[in-house]
Chains A and B, each alone.
Chain A
């Protein structure tokens, strides 16, 4: 019911929304919860396990019951807290976890079966017969479990991530947070004030309190006005700080677009990384419930929430109200309600010695023994100092005291401290470096205490930042002591008393856990699922702990706590993963020839972050293999052009450059003549092959190293390490020039002829030679190297000329019967020639395995040499590189066996790494690793691929199938 003239909602801005298909009106400034309560909707959800009817318990993000689905077109968001979701015109919400309807839910039968659904019952049954678990029991359990439902459709909405930096981050904008922000801001610090709520002010908006003589909400607004006017202050409403991480880094979730109708380009949420020099935690406190039979009915609400709905939203959630409390603070609920004209039929104070003076009946030593009203509270039965009674009520305001919101201070393994006087945990000082807790989250529950602690925490932060303190006067406010006598559960009564509302954990479950010797608080949590629901235990962990402490005869401090871990509130995967969707997951690298390749219809495939052409289809070619075969023959018979710019290129210079290369390569580069190129093998320090490639000596003190595409970054890092760690005093410097050069392979018997048309005169390069060339005014380099086994060149020009050169080379090649070739043909050509790639040097192979142990120079040290000499790294039991030739197709990933032997792991002889159909040889070729393979050339092995139904016999041979003597290379 909405009260006239009360609350901070905008009465001039009515909005229409639906819940479970029915239309309701609310006002701007309402949450879904306040708007539903204003419309007298009390039943909003069903619980997880017993499908108990549930209403609204709280007025904040800790809500365990009022979890709804918000629908947008064919997309939906499950488990949205009605207490956080703001209403807007067109909001569509519906209840969850019920069938067929919220008021009649057949799964409610679970509630009747609850004796058999005790804590951990599922560990004790469903074991027999074994196959029934996956087929019957588990599907039933899965279907029954879970609350909300994902749509199953891609979430295509917008999300954002952002960074923010500040001197002081203030978390929470209640009295403590506002004072902290003001104090820090007036001292000139860069301040971010982050507030979870849509509106700043914290409890000041929800209490009938005065600060400096004015209503709390007005004082808050005045402070906020002042802060808004300061350029060094950033106010971030709807922003929940979700986690405290190392070195002043905080995660925060901003609800950017969730409070209004979706609009294109408006992110739903933004996940912030806030880096703060200092932080003030002013997150307030959360009220806790009280255990009594059937304490989970709709209409039973936290007393603070009752006040929030009253003062903030002008809503009262019942007509006849009782208040159940164990502390003085909750009395305000009764007074505020009465002042608003609401009938308060009694205050049930659990304490025997509290004051009985109020304007309504006060029952001392009161204990609720039962409640009635399945879908909405009707009455409360209780006993008290003077006997027993039943009160007809439709709203019971409950306060079991307050839990400081210590969560963030636990994110870095800090353990909160128990304070007996307030019966609550408070942050352990210094638990998060550079963060100071202030106000209610620090156990200061009076308004004056919050204001004072807020200011003092800011002064601590300013001092730590080396800033002069500002002089901010402390406003005057109430400073009443907080009088509480803990009351966790009602003793000696039948019926279930709920602790964790969302997960349906009752005091009985906790006691059963103790009975079965799950006495550690972590065991209890895991056995009962206490605290693992969407409210993350915010409402119930401390009470559950108290019940466990009692059941095990220990005190609360001895029982300990479970650990609060990030995020502080449920945080969407989409927000934290913003930017990752689709192609956003990783950068895309494009060759200068990319468009030219696409123009020719080449399918582009991923090669690490690069895109490379797979093959260049010609009219009439139906499969990739036809194109590939043509391209292979083209290279072997005329000339082919391929973009090889993805290879890593590292320019190395200095007096000690040669010496440096001798250290990182197994073979020697100091003896390489200027103008020549050498193949080099690089090991990891553990003796396995890191990478291979060619390195050219461009000058006496100048080399150009080539790495494989995959290892370009890795090799650069490796070189930096070797240099900085082992020979920082050597005169050698290097830089990656991968992106500075576009480089094209021109390969085939007509390669020189093609280049002659381009260059006029081709330098007379020997095989493995390099020379500068000029293409008009463009300076380039020409390498005579080959990855195909044909006479081959690679021509390099500055990247900006890459596309032009590529198109030009293709045009020239095509006049000669040549053309472009793609990755598929490149792979066939290199297999025919027995050249290895990372399919072979996959991190487990040694120089010995690939037959290159002679390339490890005996005359000098190199990285990896010592470890490569370990006994397990060489020898006949190792699998060695071989060629395989067969008449039937082979597959990479097939394993090798001796024909006639059984096929088993124990008889496994090796495996295939690369395969191709060789149009030149007219045979299926493969490279692979075979135990003691070099000694087995000429033998026959069985190639078995169970997965792809391959079982052929192949001949073991030298891995170089094509032009073993290298006549063509050197032509």
Chain B
């Protein structure tokens, strides 16, 4: 498996650390109801198909990436840097 890091180019999977679903980006407000935090931390769509999840270019540029890929075929459809989203949730 090879991931096309927007900064470093295509690199082998072993340079990257996997975190989990993209859900981890949508941090609820501190006072959000417990259900929102449960969904944020635990519950997942977990699709058998296209998903978006978070990878860290650990042995590269330290970028966190959102990878759009297929969990059945392992095809990678898109890679973008997390930081390029509009941040500042906290």
Contact = CB atoms under 8 A, between A and B. Distances in A.
B44 interface: no
A866 B1 contact: no
Contacts of B2: 246-249, 275
Contacts of B32: 866
A252 B86 CA distance: 44
Interface in B1-51: 1-2, 12-13, 17, 19, 24-25, 27-28, 30, 32, 34, 37, 41
Contact of B88 (A247, A248, A717, A730): A730
B89 to A, nearest CB: 5
Contacts of B63: 724
Nearest to A871: B34
A685 interface: yes
A726 B19 contact: no
Contact of B62 (A720, A728, A730, A867): A720
A867 B82 contact: no
Interface of B: 1-2, 12-13, 17, 19, 24-25, 27-28, 30, 32, 34, 37, 41, 54, 56, 58, 62-64, 73-76, 81-90
A334 interface: no
Contacts of A865: 30
20 contacts: A246-B13, A246-B74, A247-B76, A249-B2, A412-B74, A433-B75, A663-B90, A716-B62, A720-B56, A721-B24, A721-B56, A721-B82, A723-B83, A725-B24, A725-B82, A726-B27, A728-B84, A729-B88, A866-B32, A870-B34
Given A246-B2, A663-B90, A716-B62, 17 more contacts: A249-B12, A412-B74, A717-B58, A720-B64, A721-B24, A721-B56, A721-B64, A723-B83, A724-B82, A725-B25, A726-B89, A727-B87, A727-B88, A728-B84, A729-B86, A729-B88, A865-B30
A245 interface: yes
Interface range, A side: 20 to 34
Interface string A237-266: 000000001111100000000000000000
A861 B76 contact: no
Interface string A664-695: 00000000000000000000011000000000
B87 A726 contact: yes
Interface in A723-782: 723-730
* Most chain A CB atoms below 10 A, which of B81, B87, B89: B87
B85 A728 contact: yes
Nearest to B4: A247
Contact of B90 (A246, A275, A726): A726
B73 to A, nearest CB: 8
A777 B60 CA distance: 35
A727 B86 CA distance: 9
A724 B83 contact: yes
Contacts of B54: 721
A145 B12 CA distance: 40
B74 A725 contact: no
Contacts of B30: 861, 865-866
A769 to B, nearest CB: 30
B89 A727 contact: yes
A412 B72 CA distance: 10
B75 to A, nearest CB: 7
Given A246-B2, A724-B63, A724-B83, A866 B37 contact: yes
A14 B87 CA distance: 74
Contacts of A727: 87-90
A727 B81 CA distance: 13
Given A724-B64, A725-B64, A866 B28 contact: yes
B21 to A, nearest CB: 13
A249 B1 contact: yes
Interface in A767-799: none
A867 B30 CA distance: 9
Contacts of A726: 27, 87-90
A728 B90 contact: no
Contacts of B12: 249, 273, 275
The 5 A-B pairs of least Cβ separation, nearest first, read: A728-B87, A728-B83, A246-B1, A247-B2, A724-B83
A722 to B, nearest CB: 8
